[in-house]
Amino acid sequence: MLYITFVAVTVVLCPVAYFGFCFIVYLYDAKALRRFQNLSFLSGLSDIQWVWESIRGRRYKTLHMAHQNATIVRVAPNVLSFNHPKAATAIYGHGTPTTKSPFYDAGHGHFKNVADTRDKEEHSRKRRLLATGYALTTLLRWEDKVASRINALLNQYDKFCLRLDVARRADAIPVDHRRWMDIFTIDAIHDIGLSANLRLIEKGDDLIEVQNSRGQSYQCQFRKSLWGNLRIHASFAWAPRWYGLLKRLTWWDSRWQDNVAFNDIVATACKHRIQRHLAGEKLDDFFSFLLGDKNGVPNMLMLGEMTAECSVMLNAGSETTGIALSNLLYLLIVNPNALERLRREVDEALDGIEDTKVAPFARIRYLPYLKACIDEGLRLLPPSATTTPRYTPPSGQDIMGYWIPGNTEVLCPTYSLQRNPEIFSNPDVFEPERWLSDNAKDLHTSFLPFSAGPRACIGRNITYMEQQMLIASLVHRYTFELIAPDFKPAYEEAVTCSPGPIPIYLFRRDET
C-alpha cells in the first residue's frame, strides 16, 4: 500500500515540479524572449507543444496560422520563428554567423553527412568532396539514366490511358500519380547514385531485398521504410535533449522498425556498390566521387562516412523530388490555363524531333515557362515546409533589428515565407508568370525550397533536371483529369511535407 501511494504521489508531483521549474525559468526570462508572441500558452514553458505539433504532422499549418498575426513567433522556450526575407538572409544567407542547431544531432550515429554535420569546417570539407559529383556538368553525363527511367514510367502510364468516355464510368481505374512519382525517383537516384538498376518502375512496386546487420536477407518497401523513418524521427527531433528518452518510451512504435529497415536499405546498397568496385567495375555515378576524386586519387573515406552520404542521397534524392513532381502536376491540372501555356511551350520546343517520347534535356533545359512552373510549384507547396533551425552564435546576433541572444534556435518557415503577401502578390494562387516578371529577382530573397547560403541543398541540379525532363514529357504526351473536380490531396509533415495519394485519369493526346 505504501509503495502504491509513493508511486501515485510521484506521478502527480513530477509534472508539477517540471512545470513549476519551467514557469520560474519563463518568468526569469534570461534571454528576453518573452517579448515575442507565443505559438500557444505552453510555448514559453516547454517543448511539449512543438513536439505535439510534430507528432500530429502539421507544424507548418499551425505555424502559418500564428504568423498571420506576428512576424516573429516563439514556438518553444528557446526557438523563434521569423516570417520575413531579412530574417532569412540573416539566418541562412552567405556570411551568416549561425550554425546548425542540436536538431541535427538527434538520432544520428557517429558519422554525419553533408546535410546534418554541424561543424562548418567539416561541412566545407564534405562539400568540396561532393561538389563535382553534384555539378550540372557531371549530371549531363547521366541524362540517359534519367531518360531510361522516364521511358519506363511512360510505358507504364500508357497502360493506364483511357478513352474519354471511359473516364466517366464508375469502374474506371485512376492512377496514383503520387505513388508512381516516388517509384520513379527511387529508381532514378539508385541508378544515378549507385549504378543500381532496380527496375522498380517495370515491376510497379518498391519492394526491395536487403540484408540486416547479421547478414540475414529480407524484403521491405522503400517508401514505407523511408517515410516511417522520417515520421518518427521528426516527431521528436525538435526536442533533441529528450530524443533518447522519447525513443525508449515509444519502443513499441512500428516506425522505429521502419527506421532500421531504411538503414539496412542504405547499408545494403553501399555494400553492393563497393563489391562491384572491388571486382574491377568502372562505374560512372555519384558513389564514384566518394571513392576518389576526378583524377582517380582515392579519398580514403571510412565506410561509415560513405554510408552516411548515401543515406542522405537516397533519402533527399527520392523523397523531395517525388513530392515536388507530385505537387506540380496536381497544380497544373487544377490550373488549366497554366497547363495549356506550358504544353504549347513544350510542343514548340519538341517540334521536329523524330522521337519525342522522352523530352531531351537540351531541348527543354532553358524553357522559361517550364522553369517558372517548377519554381511556382516549389513556392506554393515546398517539400520542406517548415525548414530546419539554426543556432545563433554564442555572442548573439541581430535579426531584423532585434538582438537575439547566443545559442537561440531560429528558423524561417518556408511555407509561410513563400506565401508572405508583402513579397508575393496573390500568395495562395499558382501564378508561374510571377517568375517571368521584372521583379522576379527580388522574389528570390524569399524563395527557400533548397534553403540558402553555404548550407543550401547540394542536390538542386538533380531535382531540376528530373522535373524538367519528366514534366515536359508528361504534358507533351498526355492530358489529365482528377477523380473529382474538387479533389485535394491530404498533406502530412515529417521532415518533409508529403501529399497523400493523387489519383488521376490519363489520356494519350495522340488518341483524343
Mean pLDDT for all residues in the chain: 91
Give the residue from 467, 510, 508 showing the smallest Cα distance to 364. Answer: 467
Q: Is 292 helix (H, G, I), strand (E, B) or coil?
A: strand
Q: Is 404 helix (H, G, I), strand (E, B) or coil?
A: strand
Flag whether 270 is marked binding.
no
Contact 313, 459 (CB under 8 A): yes
pLDDT band per the 50, 70, 90 thresholds, residue 166: low
Q: Considering the chain, what percentage of its residues have pLDDT values greater than 90?
A: 69
Give the residue from 502, 487, 489, 453 showing the smallest Cα distance to 97. Answer: 453
The alpha-helical segments, DSSP class H, found in 135-221 are 136-139, 143-160, 164-167, 177-194, 200-203
Q: Which of 167-171, 212-216, 365-369, 424-428 has the lowest mean pLDDT?
A: 167-171
pLDDT band per the 50, 70, 90 thresholds, residue 173: confident
Q: State mean pLDDT over 304-315.
A: 94
Give the residue from 98, 100, 89, 139 showing the smallest Cα distance to 123. Answer: 100
Q: pLDDT by residue (tens digit) across 147-164?
A: 999 999 999 999 999 766
Contact 416, 345 (CB under 8 A): no
Predicted structure pTM score: 0.94
Q: pLDDT by residue (tens digit) across 82-139?
A: 999 999 999 999 889 999 988 888 877 778 888 888 888 898 898 988 888 889 999 9
Side-chain-side CA neighbours of residue 198 (13 Å):
27
- Residue 7 above 80 pLDDT? no
Q: pLDDT by residue (tens digit) across 15-40?
A: 667 667 666 867 778 899 999 999 98
Residue 269 to residue 271: CA distance in whole angstroms? 5
Residue 38 to residue 53: CA distance in whole angstroms? 14
- Residue 471 above 70 pLDDT? yes
- For 11, 17, 19, 56, 460, the CA distances from 5, given in Å and listed in that order, are 10, 18, 22, 34, 59
> Tell me, what's the pLDDT at 167?
55
Which residues are CB-neighbours of 177 under 8 A, at least 6 positions away? 326, 329, 330, 502, 503, 504
- If you search the block for the grid coordinates 533548397, which residue do you land on? 450
Q: pLDDT by residue (tens digit) across 241-256?
A: 888 888 898 999 999 9
Contact 252, 278 (CB under 8 A): no
Rounded to 10°, the helix 460-477/143-160 angle is 40
Residue 437 to residue 433: CA distance in whole angstroms? 7
Q: Considering the chain, what percentage of its residues have pLDDT values greater than 70?
A: 93
Contact 87, 412 (CB under 8 A): yes
Contact 390, 92 (CB under 8 A): yes
Give the residue from 82, 100, 67, 104 showing the smallest Cα distance to 33. Answer: 82
- Between the ranges 237-251, 353-367, 401-415, 453-467, where is the mean pLDDT highest? 401-415
Contact 362, 482 (CB under 8 A): no
What is the radius of gyration, based on Cα positions, of the chain? 24
Question: 421 vs 240, which has greater pLDDT?
Answer: 421
Residue 14 to residue 22: CA distance in whole angstroms? 12
The alpha-helical segments, DSSP class H, found in 279-398 are 287-291, 303-333, 336-350, 361-364, 368-380
> Tell me, what's the pLDDT at 18?
62
pLDDT band per the 50, 70, 90 thresholds, residue 171: low
> Tell me, what's the pLDDT at 8?
46
Q: Within a 10 A sphere around the Cβ of 90, how many other Cβ atoms?
A: 23
- Residue 9 above 60 pLDDT? no
pLDDT band per the 50, 70, 90 thresholds, residue 168: low
> Tell me, what's the pLDDT at 240?
86
The alpha-helical segments, DSSP class H, found in 29-119 are 48-56, 59-66, 85-92
| Domains parsed from the chain with CATH numbers | 31-508 (1.10.630.10)
Q: State mean pLDDT over 387-416.
A: 95
Which residues are CB-neighbours of 428 under 8 A, at least 6 positions away? 380, 419
Contact 243, 107 (CB under 8 A): yes
> Tell me, what's the pLDDT at 67?
97
